[in-house]
């Protein structure tokens, strides 16, 4: 992972993630499509906080990617920086 603020400022930094994160606990279902391929569309979000060596603090929010090849559900990443 690269700190986006440092990249914009053309600086290098080391990114440190907090090993303790949080996750939402909504239920979800999985299914097999008409070709028999397993899909898991997990809507839960995993939040991890971190900072870079230039003191930019951020939250990284991800969702689990569906394991079915060619399925584009999930795997989204959103990074929110604190001012």
**Residue 74 structure tokens:** 């999930």
What is the average per-residue pLDDT within 18-40?
93
For residue 5, give the H/E element and its range: helix 4-8
Q: What angle do CA 77, 49, 46 make, to 5 degrees?
A: 45
In the predicted structure, residue 55 carries a pLDDT above the cut 90? yes
Domain boundaries, position 61: 4-81
Predicted pLDDT at 59 = 94
Q: Distance (Å, rounded) from C-alpha 5 to C-alpha 83?
A: 11
Instruction: State how many domains the chain has.
Output: 1
> What confidence category does residue 76 fall into, taking pLDDT thresholds of 50, 70 and 90?
confident
In the predicted structure, residue 23 carries a pLDDT above the cut 80? yes
> What confidence category does residue 83 fall into, taking pLDDT thresholds of 50, 70 and 90?
confident
Verdict on whether the full-model pTM lies above 0.75? no
């Amino acid at each position: 992972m690269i700190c986006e603020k440092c990249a914009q400022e053309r600086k290098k930094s080391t990114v440190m993630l907090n090993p303790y994160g949080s996750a939402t606990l909504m239920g979800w279902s999985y299914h097999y499509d008409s070709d028999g391929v397993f899909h898991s569309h997990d809507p839960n979000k995993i939040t991890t906080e971190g900072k870079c060596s230039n003191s930019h603090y951020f939250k990284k929010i991800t969702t689990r990617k569906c394991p079915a090849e060619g399925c584009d559900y999930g795997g989204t990443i959103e990074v929110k920086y604190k001012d």
